[in-house]
Amino acid sequence: MPDATHSRPATTAQYDVIIIGAGFAGLYQLHRLRAMGMTAKVIEAGSGVGGTWYWNRYPGARCDVESMQYSYAFSEELQQEWQWPELFSAQPDILKYANHVADRLDLRRDILFDTRVSETRFDEAASQWTVRTDLGDVFNAGFMIMATGCLSAARVPDFKGLSSFKGKTYHTGAWPHEGVDFTGSRVGIIGTGSSAIQAIPVIAEQAADLTVFQRTPNFSIPSRNAPLEQSYARQWKDKYAELRAQARNTRNGVLANPNDFSALSVSPEERKRIYEERWASGGTTFMASFNDLIFNQEANDTAAEFVRGKIREIVKDPKTAELLAPKDHPIGTKRICVDTRYFETYNRPNVHLVDVRSAPIEEITPTGLHTREADYEFDAIVFATGFDAMTGALTAIDIHSTDGSTLKAKWEDGPRTYLGLMCAHFPNMFMVTGPGSPSVLSNMHVSIEQDVNWITDCLAYLRNHRVARIEATQEAEDNWVLHGIEVANKTLYPKAASWYMGANIEGKPRVFMPYIGGVNAYKEKCAEIAANGYTGYRLTGPSRVAQAAE
């Protein structure tokens, strides 16, 4: 971990709300609560704001949602004033933006950095959470909001001999802040997900030699990133409110000019023309070429075969090209990757691809690693091995329920939530973009604002109606979980062994975790539930906040 261990005297304090995490969700949540006149403290493990963009500083880290869309919509001034340098923003620019927002809204004074929440318990009598940290702080608050992020628990597989390696090791999700110079080094990288696909071309340019250990090849589309044209930015800024509203009414929270017809409704020539056009314009909107790519296997096969064809065209060595061409999952059912010269990188003489599906990594050795077939020597190993996604950051905290259990135990067979916002037996605990919400299947900024706005409105409602306690009912939670499974099963997503399914972690239950019904449908559902007085939630007790105000 890049941060030094800080120590300071432990504190005890009382707030209306404790927010955990100072990424984009936590920052906006703090801003909204302050505006309501509530007292809130944000607890953040890192030394700075930005969440995922604070930790993921690996070379090549970049967002795959266009800069003009990957930003807060809540402040017209902010969105008018901020200038993005590139079409797709690089990590340092996004982090700069997060810091700018924190400064501009004067948020830092209510954020406790370098502090990790370790345990939380709900006190039934006082109707409040007691939140304990690794530094011995004890905070009491009526409400607790988990803004812990979906991809924040970085994970290195439990390789035998891991600690024996004498060289340097890095995880893409916890990259040293001072950067890493690989010049002249022999580097091994394990994994070929989004992070690796961005990092590999950059590391390959620096390292003497780069060996990529691939278990599952991924579909990747060129980003066609470029400096952001001022005229393009202007088009967005002139109609920002309208365009943001349109984005909120799409499935993914991204304006992508989707074609609303089937891949099978056009001739093969027309289909190819459309794929070529999308490939040339670049980015994840390739999946919007047709409206049935995630629903219909035959339609999906046409897109998958098109991309495999591109890989075979780009990669000169046919054996390497074949290894890089994904065949074990429908395109888009593992998060589609976006790259800058990823496949081209395999034409470099200093880059080698090793298939660890056929010959798995058996051991990390003092000098490198050993697969079932061969030994490799490295100066540095990069783990681009992903995250305990969606649940890992939450289950890492000892969150006690009111029925004598914990969140970790409750989610042993997969996460269970109502709307991804709350869980039965965890009163007054909200989650921003929790499992069971669209979250990672959407533009995170859109989903964060949706959830933070809903939570804030809910807290205002509780205050106005003098309610101290809100809890999802078991029935509402059960029905939402069933609904989530039903919608997921109408798509091809469950066919892939993806982190959406928990499949990247041995022993993690295979459950499709995000809600795939769409950002638009989810927004309508949340609004309806609130308008009807929070159906599916049990609201009880006189509000302490309201009493205090009297």
For position 194 contacting ligand NAP by CB under 6 A, the verdict is yes
Which residues within the stretch 478-507 sit at the binding site for ligand NAP (CB under 6 A)?
499, 504
Q: Say how many CA atoms lie within 13 Å of 327 toward its Cβ.
A: 7
For position 370 contacting ligand NAP by CB under 6 A, the verdict is no
Q: Of 6-14, 192-200, 243-251, 462-470, which segment contacts ligand NAP by CB under 6 A? A: 192-200
Nearer Cβ to ligand NAP (215/525): 215
The β-bridge relationship of strands 117-123 and 128-133 is: antiparallel
Contact 55, 154 (CB under 8 A): yes
Residues 6+ apart with CB under 8 A from 507: none
Copy the structure tokens of residue 271: 């289909």
Nearest residue relative to ligand NAP (C-beta): 193
For position 216 contacting ligand NAP by CB under 6 A, the verdict is yes
Nearer Cβ to ligand NAP (355/471): 355
Taking the C-alpha atoms of residue 143 and residue 122, their distance in angstroms, rounded to an integer, is 10
**Rounded least distance, CB 56 to ligand NAP, Å:** 7
Contact 98, 49 (CB under 8 A): yes
When binding is defined by CB under 6 A, the residue of 50, 142, 193, 518 that contacts ligand NAP is: 193
Give the residue from 127, 130, 172 showing the smallest Cα distance to 152. 172
Contact 214, 193 (CB under 8 A): no
Which residues within the stretch 423-442 sit at the binding site for ligand NAP (CB under 6 A)?
440
Copy the structure tokens of residue 443: 């533009």
How many residues bind ligand NAP (CB under 6 A)? The answer is 28
Nearer Cβ to ligand NAP (120/198): 198
For position 172 contacting ligand NAP by CB under 6 A, the verdict is yes
Give the residue from 405, 407, 401 showing the smallest Cα distance to 425. 401
Q: How far apart are the first and last CA of the chain?
A: 47
**Rounded least distance, CB 64 to ligand NAP, Å:** 4
When binding is defined by CB under 6 A, the residue of 191, 253, 282, 494 that contacts ligand NAP is: 191
For position 29 contacting ligand NAP by CB under 6 A, the verdict is no
When binding is defined by CB under 6 A, the residue of 385, 395, 428, 450 that contacts ligand NAP is: 385
Which residues within the stretch 48-107 sit at the binding site for ligand NAP (CB under 6 A)?
62-64
Q: Of 32-40, 195-203, 257-265, 318-326, which segment contacts ligand NAP by CB under 6 A? A: 195-203
For position 448 contacting ligand NAP by CB under 6 A, the verdict is no
Taking the C-alpha atoms of residue 522 and residue 530, their distance in angstroms, rounded to an integer, is 12
**Rounded least distance, CB 335 to ligand NAP, Å:** 3
Q: Of 208-216, 256-264, 265-273, 471-479, which segment contacts ligand NAP by CB under 6 A? A: 208-216
The H or E element spanning position 243 is: helix 240-248
Q: Of 184-192, 306-314, 509-517, 520-528, which segment contacts ligand NAP by CB under 6 A? A: 184-192
Q: Sheet harboring 351-355: ordered strands across? A: 168-171, 380-383, 186-190, 209-214, 351-355
Residues 6+ apart with CB under 8 A from 95: 48, 50, 53, 54
Nearer Cβ to ligand NAP (115/284): 284
For position 406 contacting ligand NAP by CB under 6 A, the verdict is no
Copy the structure tokens of residue 75: 């402040």
**Rounded least distance, CB 293 to ligand NAP, Å:** 18
DSSP type of residue 481: H
CA distances from 28 to 33, 98, 198 (A): 9, 10, 28
Helices (H) and strands (E) in the chain, counts: 17, 20
The values of phi and psi at residue 430, to 5°, are: -105, 155
Which residues within the stretch 282-341 sit at the binding site for ligand NAP (CB under 6 A)?
335, 338
When binding is defined by CB under 6 A, the residue of 384, 441, 455, 462 that contacts ligand NAP is: 384
Tell me which residues touch ligand NAP (CB under 6 A): 62-64, 151, 157, 172, 190-196, 198, 213, 215-216, 335, 338, 356, 361, 384-387, 440, 499, 504
